[in-house]
Amino acid sequence: MKKRKLGHSDLFVTELGLGCMSIGTEEKAARNIIETALEEGINYFDTADLYDFGENERMVGEALKSVREQVILATKVGNRWKSDKTGWTWDASKAYIKEGVKQSLKRLGTEYIDLYQLHGGTIEDPIDETIEAFEELKAEGFIRYYGISSIRPNVIREYINKSSIVSVMMQYSILDRRPEEEALPLLHEHGISVVTRGPLAKGLLSEKLLSKASEKGYLDYSYQELNEILPRLKERLAANRSFTEVALQYNLANPAVASVVAGASSPEQIRSNVAAVRSKSLTDEEVSFIREVTKPNIYMQHR
């Protein structure tokens, strides 16, 4: 599988990464999914301390133990579970980040994290303090590089100006083109890579199409609009290929994108996503058609 350089780092990530949140909590099944990903050439695995109260990190670390030096392991910090585990609070403080990394390293069973990401972020955060925490963790050898997970342009600009982030994770798909207005061009200009999530828009951009649609629609697309747009896209672009291929290739067509992180709850899903990424790239005409049919900027909240 092709690899792309992650920002200014020396990390080269496969064009498809595995979003580990969806692998479930049954150890054998989860390991089977991860091993299938490895067999198919995926080298980029993304988890978070939030997932399953840290159990996801433990399972991922255990499954990757024998190939640790050959993979790129990413996790996240910032969401703090309440003591009764009924929910979580946001904490971007230096103290929490430096404590959080110790717990993640222990669960992952590794001495270092390749990419440590702030799992969100607002303009009200103590951003200078947050950056200081990540920079110290780099200097101490606990992490190799760091990034953020955000779609907020004001937050992204702060980190571009003040930090040495190598990546930003954000939701991006044919049906969610918010990043195209500002975030993607800005990050590409500064040599910071984008790692995308949600490329299939909750299954709407898979072969299941409207069977995955809610009567409420998706973002600010109404159900009626989806009923008009999706068949039109499929007819024009997916006559001789799967709709999943079109969806993943649309993300990879943007020069700012280094990897598409897609979840999978079965080995079959892994293989399907891998086939989609290995398929033929979209032409400029196909990309233009998608942009003509869909909404350019759905909404830009929390600027």
Phi, psi of 18 (to 5 degrees): -100, 120
Contact 194, 258 (CB under 8 A): yes
Three-state SS for 121? coil
The pair of three-digit structure tokens given for residue 153, joined into one six-digit string: 């342009």
Helix (H, G, I), strand (E, B) or coil at 200: coil
Instruction: Give the DSSP H or E segment for 259.
Output: strand 257-263
Query: Alpha-carbon Rg of the chain, whole angstroms?
Result: 19
Mapped onto helix, strand or coil, the DSSP state of residue 102 is: helix
H or E segment and range at residue 288 = helix 284-293
Report which secondary-structure segment, H or E, holds 147: strand 143-149
**Residues 81 and 39: beta-carbon distance below 8 Å:** no
- Residue 19: which H helix or E strand, with range? strand 16-19
Tokens of 61: 């670390």
Respond yes or no: is residue 51 known to be catalytic.
Answer: yes
User: What gap in Å lies between CA 108 and CA 89, rounded to an integer?
Assistant: 23
Residue whose pair of structure tokens reads 């809610």 in the numeric block: 214
Residue 46, strand partner residues: 19, 74
Residue of 44, 51, 116, 159 marked active site: 51
Q: How many CA atoms lie within 13 A of 1 on its CB side?
A: 26
Residue 167: partners with Cβ closer than 8 Å, 6 or more residues away? 6, 7, 115, 117, 145, 147, 192, 193, 194, 195, 258
Residues annotated catalytic, as ranges: 51
